[in-house]
Amino acid sequence: FTLVDPLTGPGKGVRFSDVAGLREAKQEVMEFVDYLKRPEHYKSLGAKVPRGALLLGPPGCGKTMLAKAVATEANVPFLSMNGSEFIEMIGGLGAARVRDLFKEGRKRAPCIIYIDEIDAVGRKRSGQPSLAGTSGESEQTLNQLLVEMDGMATKEGIVMLASTNRADILDRALLRPGRFDRHILIDYPDLEERKQIFEQHLKGIALENPPNSYSKRLSFLTPGFSGADIANVCNEAALHAAREKKKKVVKIDLEYAVERLVGGTEKRSHAMS
Ligand code: ATP
């Protein structure tokens, strides 16, 4: 797994203000920030804070960013792992990885444990024993995850966040009260959010005019784009300007980048429909 110190690690200092749009999602995770800052205070009041949340939504819309921002704002370590890292493991290694992750989390509490693409490890169990009579490797891994999540209830100061775009295939045990009973939707950005995301990413680019003179038009040109697509547009535009040996990025570079990426997002929406 990866351990990121919020202030020195990679992606350091991703703050709520860097995450454009997602107003409601930010409000929902704010409670975790306050809890991580002073778990004892909550404990002394007898308040039970949800131990975690599932961030649901399509790829590239800010789930990982938001989870990292919670860690930065609370100034706690961020331990992350991708669900696919738990699978394709044999001889109980997947379950051992889960144990290690939580062991480290207990050592570093208060902290955040984040599992990206949890569907890779958390898909519905078949309920059928395998040929050898034992449950399969991936079921063992999922069982271990459930055990660790339940064990977490006795330890203060660990917030568990996970993301998926396939909530429909998750094992129901993961969604029971006390586990991921709280769901936060992080969907494709709407018009206004796209404008804000453009402004955020255009800030880092040498533009001919200020970002807000382009962002409105760009947001109209990009329905269906994710935040990651928008970041890509901005970078493509800068690359285009560089290839053409310009000193500043201009409107044409941005429009060229949008056109280039529209092809890709159209293909994706056909694949989804
Ligand atoms: P995945 O499911 O593929 O892991 P994700 O939802 O976790 O996707 P992120 O990794 O958070 O997506 O976002 C990818 C990149 O897209 C970010 O690093 C950032 O550059 C950009 N991005 C996405 N959403 C936003 C946003 N709301 N504001 C600013 N930038 C964004």
pLDDT one-digit tens code per residue, 27-46: 999 989 998 888 888 888 98
Read off the tokens for 197: 């995301």
Return the axis-axis angle of helices 227-243 and 191-202, rounded to nearest 10°. Answer: 40
Least confident span in 71-85, 88-102, 130-144, 176-190: 130-144
pLDDT one-digit tens code per residue, 164-194: 999 888 998 988 887 887 899 999 999 999 9
Beta strand pairing call for 78-82 and 2-4? antiparallel
Looking from the CA of residue 65, the nearest atom of ligand 1 is: 11
Query: What residue ranges line ligand 1, CB within 6 angstroms?
Result: 19-22, 59-65, 116, 163, 197, 200, 227-228, 231
Give the residue, out of 24, 26, 56, 65, with the most ligand 1 atoms within 8 A of its beta carbon, to mutate for a pocket test.
65
- Indicate yes or no: pTM above 0.90: no
Q: Which helix (H) or strand (E) holds 66?
A: helix 63-74
Q: What is the average pLDDT score of the chain? A: 87
Phi-psi region of 125 (alpha: psi -120 to 50; beta: other; left: phi over 0): beta
Looking from the CA of residue 196, the nearest atom of ligand 1 is: 28
pLDDT one-digit tens code per residue, 231-246: 999 999 999 999 999 9
Residue 163 has pLDDT above 60, yes or no: yes
